[in-house]
Amino acid sequence: MTRLAIRGGTVVAESGALRADLIIEDGLIEAIVEPGDGSVDEEIDSTGLLVLPGGVDVHTHMDSPSGKGHTTDTHLTGTRAAAAGGTTTVVDFAPQSAGETLPALAERWSEKMAGECAIDYSFHATVSSWYDGITDDMGRLVDAGISSFKVYMAYKGAVMIDDGQLFQVLSASAEFGSRVCIHAENGDVIDVIADRLVSEGKVAPRYHLPARPGLTEAEAVHRALVIAELTGGYPYLVHMSAAESLDHIRRAKERGVPVVAETCTHYLTLDQSVYDSDDFDVARYVLTPPIKSQRDRDCLWGGIADGTLSIVSSDHCPLCLVGQKDLGKGDFRDIPNGGPGVENRVLVLFSEGVAQNRITLERFVEIVSTEPARAFGLYPKKGVIAQGSDADLLILDPNGMTDISASAQYQNVDYNLWEGWELKGKINKVLSRGVVVASDGEYVGPAGHGEFIPRKAVAR
Ligand SMILES: [Zn+2]
């Protein structure tokens, strides 16, 4: 097999950034060597560029129902978009159908993703349709390498579970060492607030924001963490958006709760002024939880810096404005919730985080790659440049520029949350197990290259 070297770049390894070359063989990083060392068959010149572990995005919804809509990226188009944007592993959400057992769900989603993905993949199994023995089935999935689950504390009458069920899922999490992704929002309260707004004639998309105040998130965060503490389970808080939530996370960590918390690209880079219009076009920002104030955004960056938040995901949930979001033209409650971002996460965070001096290059690598790999049993195969790890690499030009436009994206959706932004940084190449899958912003990988990655449980 061809031996490949990546030469001349600045490598961010676990010990930090260093001038080094990488030697790759059989899809693995064989060695990190002094510049110029090692004989190889082929070389990639990375002079002046950053050589980073490929992005790991643990929060995507591809080919999936979302309210009255259905996400528009298939696993084929969505993972191509991910690859073009510097991500080399996705952990997608598999949505449980009514009456479906978890093993049946796992089989269905495995078949759906197999042969489709441009990059390596796994999925979390959603627990939303309760049946006797469901928590025993969680153990069966963990044994099969599907070591994490998803529950919703919102969307009553659809996917929401109650506190007793949450207690049981987190008890099973303690038993099996599996992580549970929790959508923490108080669904009961939100439904009442939303109904009141509509009864007052407030039906435009902008009312998505006041329907879901930050405290409805913070209350659910607190409740979930207390229930986790009662059980010894492993909670993962998805899409933290509100400053009020962070204190609850800090206090739970102090009490020894093994919580890991995530925020998303859009909460760190946009603010609630996106809702300041009566236009229906505001529906592009109807994603959940809604984007909060500048103060919340600053607090979230603070949470990234101090470790309260350790992962930034995309929550890629692409729904078209035309034909999907417009179902809610007369009532914001009917707008399918979600926004795209798997293609933009890495570069938007580099530009807004590293280039703006909000975080170091090393912290950037942790939040987009290393920590998500650690939290979900992918490390050290993924998420790190180290001897023996998969050669999943992002080669990035820190001095390049990238313009964002829906017209030029791989994401199969009719808008982009960062339309018109000019980002600092440009993706030069993306490698998956030593194979170049993207070059100069173009997806160039072999079809169906991605493989299912069985994941370890967190406590095994
Ligand atoms: Zn989501």
* CA of residue 95 to ligand 1 center, whole Å: 11
Place of tokens 């993706």: 427
pLDDT tens for residues 81-110? 999 999 999 999 999 999 999 999 999 999
- CA 316 / ligand 1 centre spacing (Å): 7
pLDDT higher than 60, residue 126: yes
Task: Report the separation in Å between the CA atom of 340 and the middle of ligand 1, taken as the mean of its atom positions.
Answer: 10
Mean pLDDT computed over every residue of the chain: 97
> What's the CA-to-centroid distance between 38 and ligand 1, angstroms?
44
Which residue spans within 184-308 are E strands per DSSP? 234-237, 260-264
Give pLDDT, residue 180. Answer: 98
Torsion of CA 108, 111, 113, 115, to 10 degrees: -170
Report the predicted TM-score, pTM, of the whole model to 2 decimal places.
Answer: 0.98
Where b means 16+ CB within 10 Å and e means fewer, 152-171 reads bbbbeeebbbeeebbbbbbb
CATH no. of 4-52+384-401+423-443: 2.30.40.10
Calculate how far, in angstroms, residue 264's C-alpha sits from the geometric centre of ligand 1: 10
Ligand 1 centroid to Cα of residue 28, in Å, is 31
Q: How far is the CA of 271 from the centre of ligand 1 (A)?
A: 19
Q: Stretch 285-307: mean pLDDT, rounded?
A: 98
Taking the mean position of all CA atoms in its chain, how far away is CA 226? 24
**Cα 60 to middle of ligand 1, angstroms:** 6
Q: What does the pLDDT look like over 334-375, one tens digit per residue? A: 999 999 999 999 999 999 999 999 999 999 999 999 999 999
Q: What is the mean pLDDT of residues 245-263?
A: 98
What is the maximal distance between C-alpha atoms in the chain? 73
437-452 pLDDT, tens digit each: 999 989 999 999 999 9
Span from the CA of 318 to the centroid of ligand 1 (angstroms): 10
Angle between helices 134-143 and 102-113 (to 10 degrees): 40
CA–centroid distance, residue 277 to ligand 1 (Å): 25
Q: How far is the CA of 114 from the centre of ligand 1 (A)?
A: 22
Interval between CA 154 and ligand 1 midpoint (Å): 12
Residue ranges covered by each domain of the chain = 4-52+384-401+423-443, 54-375
Residue 287 CA to ligand 1 centre (angstroms): 9
**Residue 21 to residues 11, 46, 435, Cα–Cα distance (Å):** 8, 9, 17
Per-residue pLDDT for 459 more than 80?
no
Query: What local confidence, expressed as pLDDT, does residue 66 receive?
Result: 87
433: tokens are 């197990």
- Confidence band of 460 (pLDDT split at 50, 70, 90): low
| CATH superfamily, region 54-375 | Metal-dependent hydrolases (3.20.20.140)
Instruction: Please tell me the distance between residue 330's alpha carbon and the centre of ligand 1 in angstroms.
Output: 24
Q: Which tokens belong to 15? A: 């010990």
Distance 389 CA to ligand 1 centre (A): 28
* Distance (Å, whole) CA 97 – CA 65: 10
Q: Which amino acid is at 79?
A: T
Residue 295 in this model has a pLDDT that exceeds 80: yes
**What pLDDT, on the 0 to 100 scale, is given for residue 419?**
98
Cα(413) to ligand 1 centroid in Å equals 16
What mean pLDDT comes out for the span 43-72?
96
Confidence of residue 256 (pLDDT cuts 50, 70, 90): very high
For residue 315, report the distance from its CA to the centre of ligand 1, in Å: 5
Q: What is the pLDDT of residue 68?
A: 85
